[in-house]
Copies of this chain bind each other. A is one copy, B any other.
Amino acid sequence: MADKPNFNGWSCPLPLRDYERIVIGHGGGGKLSAELVEHLFLPAFDVGVSEELRDSAVIDLGTAGLAESGGRLAFSTDSYVVRPLFFPGGSIGDLAINGTVNDVAMSGAQPIALSSGFILEEGLEMATLARVASDMGTAAKLAGVRVVTGDTKVVDAGQADGVYINTAGIGIIPEGVDIRPGRATPGDVVILSGPIGMHGVAVMSKREGLEFGTEIESDSAPLNGLVADMLAVSKDLHVLRDPTRGGVTASLCEIATTADVGIAYEEALLPIPAEVAGACAFLGLDAMSVANEGKLVAIVAPEDADAVLGAMQANAYGREACIIGKVVDAHHGVVVAKTTFGATRVVDLQLGEQLPRIC
């Protein structure tokens, strides 16, 4: 694998000031989202950009006033605006549970409580809301977490596409666990927990009324059990990330930037189901940038790779886990892919999101 591609000048950052208005891409989890956070939210909230951003914040209860405890909490939130509300393999309801459960789990925490905030459109059918709530309840039970507090607002007809949901989640991080993007280290192995691209393609095909022969179902699933199984064989997992908006590409690019390391993967090793590959070819999408809702990327020390991979494959949500690449001490901050033809190309974070309103 060529470790030193010429990547100087390939990135074309667009400063926030060039956008006078919000565009759909600002919600896509790509560069525009990152710029909005870096240039607008973080300064407003007085958070230094040097602080390591991750799927969930970590709160040290010791410094927070519970001095007798050395415990740490993971705290995360996501809003869900997916269209349509129901799609093959899931709905906005189970997505709202699994998405936040997974964000909390990506710091190694076991989620203990969720909040739910509903914004409902006047005129929404009660039966639709009941179905969404029921999906949430079922998903929460499956994840072993409870929705403990909530809020409901109603906005005028024509707003909110029926229902938007926000969930926030709290989890407890086991002692000795320190999982964060900054810990990716040259030599580490990059593991994917299973086939990718299903969620995005399932939502898109339903939304656009497309059929691809076989129906592709969303992979929406809670991953906290999988993470617990992985931690049982190695407490020293370096990085976990659920590749939702922006797909695996966005996760790897963010990790490479945060840890200032290179990441190299082999396209031939990517678990892309044939149906997803076909749909992506048809729709002009890159499967590596399509959202997943039941997958994770793990970066672990090489000596832990076999044990972690084995633990993942023994769990229903990691049965098809596989190694796709490694962390390298070269092209720092950049992800490269080795193509099936043996060439090497730079993989860049998308500006916005290929598929808007995917979660």
Contacts and interface: CB of A to CB of B under 8 A. Distances in A.
A292 B26 CA distance: 33
A161 B22 CA distance: 13
Q: Which of A37, A40, A56, A77 has the most CB of B within 10 A?
A: A77
Interface in A149-196: 149-156, 158-161, 164, 166, 168, 170, 172
Interface stretch (A4-12, A64-72, A255-263, A331-339): A64-72
A14 interface: no
A113 interface: yes
Given A21-B124, A118-B79, A120-B26, A37 B150 contact: yes
Interface string A139-157: 0110000111111111110
B44 A136 contact: yes
Interface centre among A57, A140, A141 (most CB of B within 10 A): A57
State the copy count for this chain.
Answer: 2
B151 A78 contact: yes
Contacts of A330: none
A194 B36 CA distance: 39
A158 B158 CA distance: 8
A57 B110 contact: no
Contact of A136 (B45, B75, B77, B152): B45
A23 B141 CA distance: 29
A208 interface: no
